[in-house]
Amino acid sequence: MKRIAIDMDEVIADFIPKHLGRFNGTYNENITIEELRGYYLEDLRPQLKEEIWSWQTEPAYFRDLPVMKDSQEVIKALSERYEIFITTAAMYIPASFTAKYEWLKEHFSFLNDMNFVFCGDKSIIQADYLIDDHAHHFKRFAGQGILYTSPRNCHETGYVRVNNWREVEDYFLR
């Protein structure tokens, strides 16, 4: 059975609405998702980088993120034909472990939690495919990288790209 590794933030967990909402509320701004095309939020406000990053170190920050539309249904269907691993680079934010694990158990309870991988360098993942919004994870990954569209990566080229979970479904199941 082939393996699909799937990133968490901005792939199955919709990180941007909470992050952008908190920024706009905290700093009385009105930055839109469209303005993030090609950028991280901290690229637009580099003087606030430390404050923006500090939110993510709050232990419960990742616990209440919305689920990406159609991801549960498509991943459930994929799990009938593929071995599924959720691979999150949580080592960048170790305080996120518990919240991310609880979030996965709540929203993807049909997956084996022994297939939840909390790592840093994803090149260690032995899978046939990696669906991720960060193209740098593909550089040393031995399998096929599939770039999941995020505002920040809209200018990345040279990778198979999917824009939503229905396109993931088409790629793997049709």
CATH, residue 73: 3.40.50.1000
Residue 116 has pLDDT above 90, yes or no: yes
Mean pLDDT of 137-154: 96
Residues 28 and 105 in one domain: no
Residues 122 and 165 in one domain: yes
Looking at residue 174, its pLDDT comes to 86
Instruction: Read off the pLDDT band of 163 (50, 70, 90).
Output: very high
Active site residues: 7, 9
Q: Could you count the other beta carbons within 10 Å of the beta carbon of residue 55?
A: 13
Rounded-to-integer distance, Cα 53 and Cα 5, Å: 26
Q: Which helix (H) or strand (E) holds 161?
A: strand 160-162
Residue 46 has pLDDT above 90, yes or no: yes
Residues 95 and 139 in one domain: yes
Residues 40 and 110 in one domain: no
130: tokens are: 């990696």
Mean pLDDT of 46-62: 95
Residues 10 and 21 in one domain: no
Q: Which domain holds residue 25?
A: 15-56
Residues 10 and 22 in one domain: no
Looking at residue 48, its pLDDT comes to 96
Mean pLDDT of 67-76: 98
Residues 125 and 169 in one domain: yes
134: tokens are: 């960060």
Distances (CA, A) of 46 to 25, 40, 98, 113, 159: 17, 10, 29, 37, 28
pLDDT tens digits, 120-134: 899 999 999 999 999
What's the whole-number average pLDDT of the chain? 96
Residues 168 and 79: beta-carbon distance below 8 Å = no
Residues 39 and 73 in one domain: no
Q: What strand order describes the sheet that includes 129-132?
A: 116-118, 83-88, 3-6, 129-132, 144-148, 160-162
